């Protein structure tokens, strides 16, 4: 993991501002969704990549509610 050298503060509502330099570098835009990962000492932000809730496949997804299901799993479910 590489240190960016940037600092940010948490406001009263718990929000942080990602410096423009990093938003441009990672092509982050308003309303993009980030996924949060944690370990004992860190919080890591990563662009959210939708995946099938049943098999984790990332291709041929259909949104169902706020979850995603892939084409293969939809076919399996329709055959039940």
- Three-state DSSP class for 69? strand
Of 26 and 72, nearer to Zn ion (C-beta) is 72
Query: In this chain, which of 8, 17, 20, 55 binds Zn ion, going by CB under 5 A?
Result: 55
Q: Does 74 bind Zn ion (CB under 5 A)?
A: no
SS (H, E, C) 2-18: CCCCCCCCCCCCCCCCC
62 within 8 A of 54, measured Cβ to Cβ: no
Q: Does 52 bind Zn ion (CB under 5 A)?
A: yes
Chain contacts with Zn ion (rule: CB under 5 A): 52, 54-55, 57, 70, 73
């Amino acid at each position: 993991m590489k240190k960016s050298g940037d600092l940010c503060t948490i406001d009263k509502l718990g929000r942080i501002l990602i410096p423009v330099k990093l938003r441009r570098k990672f092509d982050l835009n308003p309303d993009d969704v980030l996924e949060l990962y944690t370990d004992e000492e860190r919080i890591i932000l990563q662009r959210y990549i939708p995946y099938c809730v049943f098999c984790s496949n990332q291709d041929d997804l259909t949104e169902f509610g706020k979850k995603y299901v892939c084409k293969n799993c939809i076919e399996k479910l329709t055959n039940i």
